Amino acid sequence: MSQRRPRPSGGEPADDGAGGVPDDVAAAVERVLSTTALLWSRAEQGLEPAISPIQLRAVEAISRFGRLNLGGLAEELGAIPSSASRLCDRLEAAGLIVREPAREDRREIIVRLTDQGERLHTQLVRRRRTAVRDVLAHMSPTSRARLIDALTEFGQACERRDSGEARVVGSRTA
Amino acid sequence: MSQRRPRPSGGEPADDGAGGVPDDVAAAVERVLSTTALLWSRAEQGLEPAISPIQLRAVEAISRFGRLNLGGLAEELGAIPSSASRLCDRLEAAGLIVREPAREDRREIIVRLTDQGERLHTQLVRRRRTAVRDVLAHMSPTSRARLIDALTEFGQACERRDSGEARVVGSRTA
DNA sequence: TATTGTTATACTCTATAACTATA
DNA sequence: TATAGTTATAGAGTATAACAATA
C-alpha cells in the first residue's frame, strides 16, 4: 500500500477562445463535476436489494419514462435490443420489472417497474438527496442560494444545447 | 417507438429540516447533477481506441495516481484484486498499461499508463471539457462567473464533508 | 418486406475460492 | 505466517448474427 499518492490534478491555465469560453473555466467546471460524479456513485451502494450498476441504470430509465418498449430502453442505455432483452430477463427474474405486449402493436414489449422496482428507485433518489444534503449542510444558506441559482442556469443551458444539436447521441444505427 | 414520453421529474416541494437544508433544495441540486451525469457519459463515447466503461475507469484511476499497485487500483475501482488483475490483463493486451514488480517489495505489481494510455486519457479530458464548454457557451459571462464561484464552494463543501466522516467508502471488506 | 423482439454464440467483467511467490 | 497477486470456475453483461412473430 505504498503507491497511493494522488497527483494534483491542477492544470495549466489556458485561454482557448472557442465559443468565447476560456479553457480554464471549462477545466474548473469539469473538475468539480468529476467530484460530484464520485458522490453520485457512492449513493448507489447499499441499496436493498443490491443490484448491478447496469440494472440500476435500467431501473432509472424505466422510471423516468414510466413505461417504454424494449427498443426504447436499449436506446436509453446506449445498448442494442438483444442486450436489453437479456438484461430484462434478469430484472424480471428479480421481480423488479414486468414485460407485456403493447395493445396497439403486439410486436412491441412494454416494460414497467413492479412495486418492488418502484420502491428500489425511490430508495435510490432518497439516498442521492441525502448525499447532496450532507454536502449542502456544509455551506452557508447564502452559498446554497447562489448554488441553486447557478445550477438552475446551468441546467437550462444544458437543455438549450441539447435542443440546438443534431441529437445523434444514443443511436448506434450508424 | 410509441412509448417514449419522459415523465416530468418535477416534484412536491417539501421542507425536511435535517441538517437545516430544505428538501426541495437538495432535490433541485440532485436533479441538475443527474443531468450533468448524462453529459458526462456522452463524453466517454467515441474515444479512440474504444474501450469499455470499466476499462476507462481504470485508466482514469491510474492517471490520477500516476503509478499504483494492483490492490490500490482494485480499491479505487471498488473491486477485488482478482477482478482488477483480469482487467489489467486486457488493458495490457490493448497496450494501454504496463505491469512491473515494485523495487521495494517484489510482491507488489505497479501499474502505469503507456504513452498510448496517456493519449487516451488526454483525449477523454479534452472531450469532457469540450462538452462543458458547449454548455457554458449557452450562458452569459456573468452566469458563468456565478457558476464557477458556486461550484467551487460546492466542491469545497464536498471536501469538508469527506474529511469529517469515517470514510468507509471503497471497502467491500464488510 | 419491414419492424420488434428473442435466441445462439462468443467475449468482457465480476466474485469466490484455491493457488504461487515474496516478506 | 501474512501479504500481493494470479488462476480456476461460474455467472452477469454485451455485441453480432440468425431467428420468430407481427405489421
Contacts of A153 (CB under 8 A, 6+ apart): B139, B143, B146, B147
Q: Is residue B76 part of a domain?
A: yes
- Residue A43 predicted with pLDDT over 90: no
Average pLDDT over residues A82-87: 96
Q: Is residue A115 part of a domain?
A: yes
The mean pLDDT of chain B is 81
Q: Is residue B174 part of a domain?
A: no
Look at chain A and report how many structural domains it folds into. Answer: 1
The C-alpha atoms of residue B48 and residue B65 are separated, in whole angstroms, by: 22
- Residue A174 predicted with pLDDT over 60: no
* Percent of chain A whose predicted confidence (pLDDT) is above 70: 83
Which is more confident, B109 or B34?
A: B109
B112-CA/D16-C1' distance, Å: 33
CA Rg, chain B, in Å? 20
Q: Give me the CATH number covering residue A93.
A: 1.10.10.10
- Residue A65 predicted with pLDDT over 90: yes
Q: Is residue B9 part of a domain?
A: no
CA distances from A115 to A60, A91, A112, A163 (A): 14, 13, 10, 34
Average pLDDT over residues B93-112: 95
Nucleotides of C under 7 A from a protein CB: 3-8, 12-18, 21-23
Q: Is residue A134 part of a domain?
A: yes
**8 A C-beta contact, residue B116 and residue B95:** yes
The count of residues in chain A is: 174
Q: Is residue A31 part of a domain?
A: no
Q: Is residue A111 part of a domain?
A: yes
Average pLDDT over residues B16-39: 73
* Phi, psi values for residue B113, rounded to 5°: -80, 140
Residue B40 has what pLDDT? 76
Q: Which residues of A19-40 are buried (b: 16+ CB within 10 A; e: fewer)?
A: eebbbbbbbbbbbbbbbbeebb
Residue A167 has what pLDDT? 41
- Residue of chain A whose alpha carbon sits nearest to that of B127: A30
Residue span of the structural domain in which B106 resides: 47-138
Chain A residues with CB inside 8 Å of B33's CB?
Answer: 36, 39-40, 128, 132, 151
Residue A92 has what pLDDT? 95
D4: residue with closest CA to C1'? B107
**8 A C-beta contact, residue A69 and residue B3:** yes
Q: Is residue A89 part of a domain?
A: yes
Average pLDDT over residues A64-68: 91
pLDDT, tens digit, 9 for 90 and up, residues A127-157: 888 888 888 888 888 888 888 888 888 888 8
- pLDDT band for position A19 (50/70/90)? low
- Min Cα separation A144/chain B (Å): 8
DSSP E strands, chain B:
68-69, 97-101, 109-113
